[in-house]
Amino acid sequence: MNPAAALREQFIRWALRVRPPEESPITLGQRRVYVLPTRAGLGYAAALLTMLIGSINYNLSLGYVLTFLLAGLGVVAILHSFRNLVRLKVSRGRTPPVFAGEHVAFHLVLASDVERQALRLWLPDGENTTVDIAANDSADACLRLPATRRGWLALPRVGIETTWPLGMIRAWAYCAPDLRCLVYPKPATKAPPLPWGAGEHGGRRAGGQGNDDFAGLRGHQPADPPRHVAWKTAARQGEDAPLLTKQFDGAATARIWLDWHDAPGEDTEARLSVLTRWALDAHAAGLDWGLRLPERSFAPASGEEHLQAALTALALHGQA
């Protein structure tokens, strides 16, 4: 890190005033808001200085009036820019889990008792967004950040700034909300079929996909067992026709186990990627499925809660 970047980072840490992460809600007090002129503001100040020198040199009374009038406008702009940011409240919002390779959407809730215009929020290595807040209202600000690996991804330091109303003054502050997102392993793009050899038949589920009585056909899904594919129908319809899967009525439900030792892969991440794909396929097929990992296992079940619990275990595998 070069000296300029190191000095800037040291200033940002000092400007936070607290040790991150911060508990919600975060209120930006007066000591946390900083004000400096923009390039337009510096040009405005240079123009005022030129006008003042000209008025003194030529003893222009109207020149003094115009110069001090415009100088007063600059002072008012400083106050309004500072007021547009001070005492703003920042709270944590929802942050849904994502898969590795996608973008995390960190949501922050900005609340205020006065109207605020053109607040810009940004992350060091992510996107930025601009929001307006009505008086006695709140606004949702979404900041996106790429998720490169599985596990917990904490929200980095957030910068908030405004140049409202005239663009001559920049008021800014930093905050570090205690917000993080769970990143699931990236599903394998080319995974082997579900391990039906590790399954069993049994259990009861109302409205389940059993194998007692034929009930009709539906679109084929990658997780469907080959024996349930309507091969005769596909042969009659031709090569371009989509595959169909037979549906059955009954109480018997297929159960399969997704075992760590059955997942191919040269390393841990490759196996987790295959297990993630299997879990998604089994859930999409409406199967009862279980998951065996080296440190824990999940009994065969179905539903969204079961899927989320399994994906969480896969995301945090091997992490403290």
d(CA 268, CA 266) in angstroms, rounded, equals 7
Residue 59 lies in a domain: yes
* Of 187, 99, 176, residue with least CA distance to 143: 176
* Domain C-terminal end among 144, 161, 184: 184
Please give the sequence-ordered ranges of beta strands (E in DSSP) within the chain, or none if there are none. 26-27, 34-37, 89-92, 98-99, 103-112, 116-122, 128-133, 137-146, 151-154, 158-162, 169-175, 180-184, 200-204, 213-219, 244-249, 252-259, 288-292, 297-301
pLDDT tens, 243-276? 777 666 554 456 899 999 989 888 999 999 999 9
Quick one: which of 272, 281, 288, 283 has its CA closest to 308? 283
- Range of 280's domain? 196-315
Instruction: Indicate if 152 and 206 belong to the same structural domain.
Output: no
Q: pLDDT band for position 286 (50/70/90)?
A: confident
Domain annotation covers residue 138: yes
Neighbours of 153 (CB within 10 A): 22
Using only C-alpha atoms, the chain has a radius of gyration, in whole angstroms, of 30
Nearest Cα residue to 289 out of 239, 242, 260, 255: 255
Q: Which residues have a Cβ under 8 Å from the Cβ of 38 and sit 6 or more positions away? A: 163, 167, 168, 169, 170
Task: List pLDDT tens digits, range 110-153.
Answer: 999 999 999 999 998 778 999 999 999 999 999 999 999 999 99
Domain count, the chain: 2
Q: Assess whether 206 and 295 both reside in one domain.
A: yes
Q: Give the pLDDT confidence score for residue 207 in this predicted structure.
A: 41
Whether 189 maps to a domain, the answer reads no
For residues 28 and 147, state if they share a domain.
yes
